[in-house]
Amino acid sequence: MTTIADGLKDVFLAGVGAMALGAEKTQELVEQLIAKGEITVEQGKAINSEVLKQAQAKGEQVSQQAHETAGEAQRQARAAASQVEERAKTAASLAKEDAEAAVSWGRSQAEMAADAAKKAAGTAQQDAADFATALRHDVLEAQMAVMTPEERAAFAKKAAEIAARDDAKAE
């Protein structure tokens, strides 16, 4: 026999997973659990509220990390550009040949700094995308954990359709 704590844990895990499916799917899941008598309306509202708060907090955290990474890359690019400008001024007082070499070097440093900033931003975006994908998979597993075998079969069929559609879009 399942205890209330086990039931609430299952409901919570299902709720956490459901946040990736959006507020509508979360509401549907909670309504199903209420209808089955596994949770009360008040517990459903609390779970819905907590899931939304966690999704927002995680999204803000990922966004903040991306902004911090991009900001650091920009600061490094500015510092590198500042160094390039100083070296270019020094090189201008040398012979024309030496000045041209210094300017060329400075441009390559600026390009490398810009490339580093782009790479850091791309990495942050990929991390966010990877997190979203992992969260989507967790949602599916959590939902299936609280379903009857018939519901699982219908859900698995729908998940396969969605995966096929997503794969088609990716191509």
Residue ranges of the alpha helices (H) in the chain? 4-18, 23-36, 41-92, 96-145, 149-170
Could you give the number of structural domains in the chain? Answer: 1
pTM, full prediction: 0.32
- Our CA angle for 107, 81, 126, nearest 5°, is 90
The whole-number pLDDT of residue 80 equals 85
Q: Is the dihedral of CA 160, 162, 163, 169 positive or negative?
A: positive
**Nearest Cα to 18, choosing from 145, 128, 142?**
142
Q: Provide the token pair at 157.
A: 């069929």
Burial of 167 (0-12, 13-18, 19+ CB in 10 A): exposed
Structure confidence at residue 56 as a pLDDT band (50, 70, 90) = confident
Task: Give me the percent of the chain exceeding a pLDDT of 70.
Answer: 87
**Token match 């999204």: residue?**
59
The whole-number pLDDT of residue 146 equals 85
Range of the domain at 67: 4-170
**Token match 């997503």: residue?**
166
Query: 60: how many CB neighbours lie within 10 A of its CB?
Result: 10
Q: Is residue 123 pLDDT above 90, yes or no?
A: yes
- Find how far residue 79's CA is from the centre of its chain: 29
CA–CA separation, 26 and 139 (whole Å): 10
pLDDT, one tens digit per residue, over 77-121 is: 888 888 988 888 876 676 888 889 999 999 999 999 999 999 999
CA–CA separation, 68 and 124 (whole Å): 10
Q: In angstroms, how far apart are the furthest CA atoms of the chain?
A: 88
The whole-number pLDDT of residue 29 equals 80
The whole-number pLDDT of residue 166 equals 92
Q: Is residue 43 pLDDT above 70, yes or no?
A: yes
